[in-house]
Amino acid sequence: MNNSLIISIENLCKHYRNADKNALDGLNLTIVEGEVFGVLGPNGAGKTTLFSILSGILPLTSGKVTIAGLDLKTDLESIKYKLGVVPQEIALYPSLSAEDNLLYIGRMYGMTGEELKEKVDYRIRQFGLTEVKDKPVKTYSGGMKRRVNLLGGILHQPEVLILDEPTEGMDVQSRAVMMEMLRKLNKEEGMTILYTSHYLEQAEIFCDRVAILNHGKQLVVGDPKDLIDRNEDRSSLEELFLELTGTTIVGS
C-alpha cells in the first residue's frame, strides 16, 4: 500500500425526497491506493447509500467525490471502468453457467475474443470453479455463487473493488475461503477494497482502516486496533461499535 489517494470524499451529502434528514450528512473520507477500507454501521447508517453513489447508481446531493483523480459528477462513464462492484444480492443469471455469466459480463465491459476467454478461464481456475464451470449457477452452493458473483466484479481488473456484504449467508469455511481470495486480490493484484460487513471480527482483522457511520454521519475513522486502543475499556471493534452507535449491528 502506498500513500496515493484513490478516493476522496468531501462534505458528501445525500437527501432523499420527503425525508426528514440527510441519508449522508457531511461525510469526509480519504482512501489510499491499495488500502482495505471498511465502512461499518447499523441499519440506516448510510453504507448502502454511500456505495450506490460511488458506483454511479445514485446522484449525490452536494459535496465532491473523486475516484482515481476523476470527478464523479463529470467523469462517471470513465470511473465505471475503474470500479468493480459486488452487490450483496447474487447478480447472476441462474440458468446460465459460471462461464457463460462471466463471458456476458466481460462483453459488457468491452472485452471480446481470446482476451475475454483467457481472462474467464484464468479466474475460474483461480477461484476453484473449473469442475462446475459448465453447470447452471442455480445448482451451485451459496459459497460458489458468491465466488462467481465476486468474479463478475473483478473480471475487468478494476482499480477499486466495492463489496457490499460479500460473505453474507456463507458458512464459516466458505467465508474463510472468500476472505483469503479477497486478501490475494488486495496483496497480489493491488486492488483497493472498499468493504462493508456486519461480521465485525472479520472486519477488525481484514481492514487497514474503518469508518463507523450512524445516521449518515461518520463517528470515527482509523486503524481498528488504534481505535480500540484509544478506548481502553473496549477490547474489540464490536464493543467499540456498540458503544458508539448504541445498537446491535445488522445488515446494511
Whether the per-residue pLDDT at 91 is higher than 50: the answer is yes
pLDDT at site 2 = 65
Mean pLDDT value across residues 28-53 = 95
What's the grid cell of residue 151? Answer: 468474479
Whether the per-residue pLDDT at 251 is higher than 60: the answer is no
Whether the per-residue pLDDT at 92 is higher than 70: the answer is yes
Whether the per-residue pLDDT at 71 is higher than 90: the answer is yes
The CA distance from 247 to 245, in Å, is 5
What's the grid cell of residue 216? Answer: 449518515
Whether the per-residue pLDDT at 235 is higher than 90: the answer is no
User: Superfamily for 1-82+159-252?
Assistant: P-loop containing nucleotide triphosphate hydrolases (3.40.50.300)
Q: Are 32 and 6 in contact (CB under 8 A)?
A: yes
DSSP, collapsed to helix, strand or coil, labels residue 119 as helix
What's the grid cell of residue 67? Answer: 475516484
Q: Where are the beta strands (DSSP E) in 60-188?
A: 62-67, 70-71, 83-86, 160-164
- φ, ψ for residue 39, nearest 5 deg: -110, 110
Domain assignments of the chain as residue spans, ordered by start:
1-82+159-252, 90-157
For the stretch 5-35, pLDDT in tens is 999 999 999 999 999 999 999 999 999 999 9
The CA distance from 168 to 28, in Å, is 27
For the stretch 167-216, pLDDT in tens is 888 888 888 888 999 999 999 999 999 999 888 999 999 999 999 999 99
